[in-house]
């Protein structure tokens, strides 16, 4: 009887952990929503949000950051909309492995406006997006990090907070 109980326990444990693969569901995290810029940050440990602080800038503090947004689509495209009348598109790929969580944005194209004329938050966001290498997040927020994992932009899905 004890052997049957132990065998049953082992089978149940295996069944519970069989579906766990320690990878993010990329479509669930990135697609199906508009991500609004929440700010630019610096950190000494990209896995510990308590060690992050906002970067100071000289831009218009009355600028509505939520008007700067990015949308990821299941076909591998991303749309960036900036309030300065500039819209850009790129291709995105990501690896949701818990250890790496890489994100790549490439093949940038201008849909509307001129990205060389961007200023302030628009220029900072566009410049940072071209350097994105890693991400962290969930369906409420995403953080897009540069190669050093010391600087990131945070975006929020505002529909989750209304």
Tens of pLDDT, residue by residue over 13-53, are 333 333 444 568 889 999 999 999 999 999 999 888 788 88
Q: Is residue 154 pLDDT above 60, yes or no?
A: yes
For residue 89, the model assigns a pLDDT of 96
For residue 1, the model assigns a pLDDT of 54
For residue 47, the model assigns a pLDDT of 84
For residue 20, the model assigns a pLDDT of 46
Task: State how far the Cα of 34 lies from the Cα of 36, in Å rounded to an integer.
Answer: 6
Q: Is residue 9 pLDDT above 50, yes or no?
A: no
Tallying the residues shown for the chain, one arrives at 162
Topology annotation, domain 24-161: Lipocalin (2.40.128)
**Tens digit of pLDDT for each residue in 87-128?**
999 999 999 887 678 999 999 999 999 999 998 889 999 999
Closest CA to 100 of 55, 147, 54, 53: 147
Arithmetic mean of pLDDT, 154-160: 90
**Tens digit of pLDDT for each residue in 73-86?**
999 999 999 988 89
pLDDT bin (cut points 50, 70, 90) of residue 64 is: confident
Task: State how far the Cα of 95 lies from the Cα of 75, in Å rounded to an integer.
Answer: 15
Task: Give residue limits of the domains in the chain.
Answer: 24-161
For residue 90, the model assigns a pLDDT of 96
Angle at the Cα of 160 from the Cα atoms of 34 and 43, rounded to 5 degrees: 75
In this structure, what token pair is assigned to residue 92?
A: 């995105």
């Amino acid at each position: 009887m004890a052997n049957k109980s132990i065998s049953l326990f082992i089978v149940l444990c295996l069944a519970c952990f069989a579906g766990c693969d320690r990878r993010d569901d990329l479509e669930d995290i990135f697609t199906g929503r508009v991500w609004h810029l929440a700010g630019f940050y610096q950190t000494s440990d990209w896995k510990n949000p308590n060690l992050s602080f906002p970067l100071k800038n000289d831009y218009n503090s009355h600028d509505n950051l939520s008007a700067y947004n990015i949308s990821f689509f299941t076909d591998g495209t991303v749309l960036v909309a900036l309030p300065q009348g500039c819209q850009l598109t790129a291709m995105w790929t990501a690896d949701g492995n818990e250890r790496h969580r890489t994100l790549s944005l490439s093949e940038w194209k201008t849909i509307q406006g001129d990205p060389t004329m961007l200023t302030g938050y628009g220029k900072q966001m566009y410049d940072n997006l071209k350097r994105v290498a890693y991400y962290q997040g969930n369906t409420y927020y995403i953080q897009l990090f540069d190669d050093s994992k010391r600087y990131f932009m945070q975006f929020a899905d505002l529909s989750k907070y209304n």
